[in-house]
Amino acid sequence: MKKYKIFIALFSTFSSISMMLNAQENPNQNVVLSPKEKSIIGIAALTGKGDLTKLKTALNSGLDAGLTTNQIKESLVHVYAYAGFPRSIRGLQTFMTVLDDRKAKGINDVMGAEASPINDERSKYERGKAILKELTGVAEQGPKTGYAAFAPEIEIFLKEHLFADIFERDVLSYRERELVTIAVLSSIGGVEPMLSSHLNICINLGLTPSQLLEFLDVIKSNIGKKEFKSASIVLNSVLKNKK
C-alpha cells in the first residue's frame, strides 16, 4: 500500500510538470480534458461495467455538459466493439429512459449531426488499414504475426468492421473514440495489452500525460480504486517507454 501511494504521488508530480511544460510549449493547446470528454469517459466506463444506475446520472451529466444525443448514442454503440452487444444495448436502453424522463420535464436535448455518407471507393479492408495507420502512426509491414496469423479472419474483421465501419463514422472524432475505448478497457479489466496499445494511440492523437491522468481520475470516481490502480500501472509503463 505504501509503495502504491508513493507511485501515485510521483506520477501526479510527473503529470503536473508535464502539464506546465506542455502549456509553455503550446500556449494555445488545451491541457485539460473538456467536460464533454470527461462525460464520454464516464458514460463509456459505466456502460462497459454494466452499472446502469450510475450510468443514468452520467448520461444526464453528459447532456448537461453539451453532448448531443447522437454523440452519446454513438459512444454507446462504440462500446459494443470492446464489451459486447449486451452491455451496449443495455446502455442504449438506459439512455432511452433518460431521454424520455428529460422530455417529460420539458428538456429538449439537441439531436446533433448524424454520420456522413462514406464516398471512399476503396475496399473496407484498405480503408480500415489506412485508419489504423493514422491512429497508430505506424504502417503495417511484413507478414502477419501473433493472433493475426493464428486467426486471420479476426484480423480481417478488425480492419473491415472496427476500423472501417465504426471508426470511420464521423459523429465522434478519433480522439473521442479512443477515450471511449480506453474507458471500456479499464472498466472491464484483464485486457492490459489492449489498454496499453490504445493508450499509445491516445498519445499519438495528441492526448498529454496530464490529460491521461485526468482520465484515470474519472475511472476512479466512476468505477473504483481497483480499476484505477490497474489502469495506472499500464499507463505508467506506457509513459516510461515513451522516454
Q: Which residue has the cell 517507454?
A: 241
| CA 30 – CA 38 distance, rounded (Å) | 14
| Helix, strand, coil % in the chain, rounded to nearest 5 | 75, 0, 25
Of 32, 90, 40, 45, residue with least CA distance to 70:
40
Cα separation, 6 vs 12, in Å, equals: 10
Matching residue, cell 466506463 = 45
Task: Give the start-to-end residue ranges of the domains of the chain.
Answer: 2-114+171-241, 122-169
How high is the pLDDT of residue 6?
47
Burial level of 50, CB count in 10 A (0-12/13-18/19+)? middle
pLDDT along the chain (243 residues), means of 10: 48 44 44 96 98 98 98 98 98 98 97 96 97 96 92 97 97 98 97 98 98 98 98 98 85
CATH architecture of structural domain 2-114+171-241: Up-down Bundle (1.20)
- Look up cell 454503440; give the residue: 77
Give alpha helix (H) positions in 65-105. 69-83, 85-104
As a whole number of angstroms, the distance between CA 63 and CA 72 comes to 8
- What's the pLDDT score for residue 31? 85
What is the length of the chain? 243
Rg (C-alpha) for the chain, rounded Å, is: 18
Distance CA 108, CA 99 (A): 9
